[in-house]
Amino acid sequence: MELNKLESLLKRYDDGETSLEEEKLLKEYFHSGKVPNHLKEYKMIFNFSEEEKKIHHPGKIKLKSRRKWYAIGLAASILIAVGIFTFQENEQQNFSQNELGTIENPEEAYYKAKETLQMVAQIMNIGKQELVYLDEFNKTKNQIIKIK
């Protein structure tokens, strides 16, 4: 395209007077070849328009109303709440119905209790072993802050 024609076209483009066909011509021109330095802003604008046209909607169209899902979610959560409530109710009843003291012989009861406590103590000790690492904190802290 000759520079004269190009410039008059650009002038009309600026004034919003070009037709779609003319704008297409301009886009093609600025897309293809070298552009005079004083027109490089136009090149950017036309390139921008082309690039923007390549943006696509990322998702799929969902035609199911989300409100339905809210309703389903609400129903499900009510169901769960009711379920937990009744379950706990049963549990409590079972607990109170069970007799707690089932061992008659006092000596046997003593051993059983001792065994259980031993077990608890063992588990406690295993747990406590992990706490050794806490000492590291104190060591480091003492290096930094000296408290007499």
Partner 1 sequence: MNQKTFIGVVNPVKDKMYRLALRLLISKDSAEDATQEVLLKLWDRKNKLKDYANIEAFAMTVTKNYCLDQLKSKQNNNLKIVHTNYESQDRSAFEQLETNDRLKEISRILETLPEQQKLIFQLRDIEEYEYEEIAKVMNMNETAIRVSLSRARKTIRIELLKKDSYGIK
Q: Closest separation between CB of residue 62 and partner 1, Å?
A: 7
Nearer to partner 1, 56 or 148 (CB): 56
Q: Closest separation between CB of residue 4 and partner 1, Å?
A: 20
Q: Closest separation between CB of residue 119 and partner 1, Å?
A: 54
Nearer to partner 1, 61 or 145 (CB): 61
Nearer to partner 1, 14 or 108 (CB): 14
Q: Closest separation between CB of residue 11 and partner 1, Å?
A: 11
Nearer to partner 1, 11 or 112 (CB): 11
**Token couple for 1:** 């395209």
Q: Closest separation between CB of residue 30 and partner 1, Å?
A: 12
Please, what is the angle between helix 3-14 and helix 20-32, to 10°?
Answer: 130
**9 within 8 A of 25, measured Cβ to Cβ:** yes
Nearer to partner 1, 29 or 42 (CB): 42
**53 within 8 A of 25, measured Cβ to Cβ:** no
Listed residue (33, 12, 39, 35) closest to 23, CA to CA: 12
Alpha helices in the chain (DSSP H): 3-14, 20-32, 40-52, 66-97, 106-129, 132-144
Q: How many of the other CB atoms lie within 10 Å of CB of 30?
A: 21
Which spans of this chain sit near partner 1 (rule: CB under 8 A)?
Answer: 13-17, 20, 23-24, 41-42, 44-45, 47-49, 51-53, 55-59, 61-63, 65
**Token couple for 53:** 């046209």
